[in-house]
Amino acid sequence: MGQATVNVTPPNVQAEKVSGPWRDAWKAFRKNKTAMLGLCIILFFVLIALLAPFIAPYGYKEQELVNRLKPPSAAHWFGTDDLGRDLFTRILYGARISLWVGFFSVIGSIVVGTFLGVLAGFYGKWIDMLISRMFDILLAFPSILLAIAIVAILGPSLQNALYAIAIVNIPTYGRLVRAKVLSLKSEEYITAARAIGMKNSRILLTHILPNSLTPIIVQGTLGIATAIIEAAALGFLGLGAQPPDPEWGKMLSDSRQFIQKAPWTVIFPGLSIMLTVLGFNLMGDGLRDVLDPRMKN
Q: pLDDT tens per residue, the chain (297 residues)?
A: 445 554 554 544 444 455 566 677 778 778 888 889 999 999 999 999 999 999 999 988 888 888 888 899 988 899 998 888 999 999 999 999 999 999 999 999 999 999 999 888 888 788 889 999 999 998 888 888 899 999 989 888 889 999 999 999 999 999 999 888 888 877 777 778 778 877 777 878 887 888 788 888 888 988 999 999 999 999 888 888 888 888 898 898 888 888 888 899 999 999 999 999 999 999 988 888 777 655 555
- Looking at the domain 30-295, which fold is it? MetI-like fold (1.10.3720)
A 10 A CB-CB count for 157 gives 15
Q: What is the pTM of this model?
A: 0.84
